[in-house]
Amino acid sequence: MLSWLPHNVSTFGGSVDSTISLIYYIVGAWFLAAEGLLVFFALRYRRKRGRSAFYKRGETARQAAWILIPAAVVLCLDLGIDASGASTWHLVKETLPANAVQVQVTAERFAWKFTYPGPDGKFGTPDDVTLINELHVPAGRPVELILRSKDVIHSLFIPNFRFRQDVVPGRTIDAWFESRTPGTYELGCSELCGDAHFDMRGTVMVQDSKDYAAWLHKTWPSAAAGSGKVSAQANKG
């Protein structure tokens, strides 16, 4: 049923999936009921010799109830979905875990630039490193993304993390995720931003502590007297 969703590998993905499945089952049940009734009525009241069509104006309370009661039920289910999704929204969009690895993300037509602060832990210094369409993150640590756009609205989408965040020119937006499952996952732009929109495709590499330390060591060799030092300092927060 929901098996077409990409395999979830983020800590909050399960909550997002439960909201998706709640909507899926509620909307699915209404879809079957509405289409079933449509077909039933089309057959039951089809044109027959000797029977003419009639029009009900819905003026009596009893007739209006056929509209108002289903509308009230739909409204209640909608509010139920809102209430159930609120805690997920709070977790994903309104909290920022401490001890997160920080990465600046700059979106521009047509690439993602991921900037790391380097061993000094500060952005805007000579040891910053920027990768294009390639994001390296440690497994089991929250990652804070500081998102900006140089031109138009983009949207960073990482399906396996259930992560999606619009990137809006003139604004700096913080977002986060955490994955405990090492692997290589696809990222993309999910906001049509121009004729080479499809070029904004890249990879997220979730690396276990050994591989991540090796990547830090390779990226900042001069600071790697102990890769532990690099990782401790890249570890902001």
Contact residues for Cu ion, defined by CB under 5 A: 154, 189, 193, 200
Nearer to Cu ion by Cβ, of 153 and 205: the residue is: 153
CB of 152 to Cu ion, least distance (A): 7
Distance CA 10, CA 24 (A): 21
Nearer to Cu ion by Cβ, of 147 and 193: the residue is: 193
CB of 78 to Cu ion, least distance (A): 31
Check if the beta carbon of residue 176 is closer than 8 Å to that of residue 97: yes
CA-wise closest residue to 147 among 167, 121, 122, 123: 167
Distance CA 11, CA 231 (A): 22
| C-alpha separations of 217 from 210, 224, 228 in Å | 11, 5, 9
CB of 121 to Cu ion, least distance (A): 29
Nearer to Cu ion by Cβ, of 94 and 195: the residue is: 195
Nearer to Cu ion by Cβ, of 110 and 212: the residue is: 110
DSSP per position, 63-105: HHHHHHHHHHHHHHHHHHHHHHHHHHHHHHHS---SSPEEEEE
Element (H, E) at 19: helix 13-44
DSSP three-state, residue 195 = coil
CB of 65 to Cu ion, least distance (A): 48
Nearer to Cu ion by Cβ, of 158 and 230: the residue is: 158
Distance CA 86, CA 198 (A): 32
Nearer to Cu ion by Cβ, of 22 and 168: the residue is: 168
CB of 169 to Cu ion, least distance (A): 12
CB of 124 to Cu ion, least distance (A): 24
* Single-letter amino acid code for the residue at 202: G
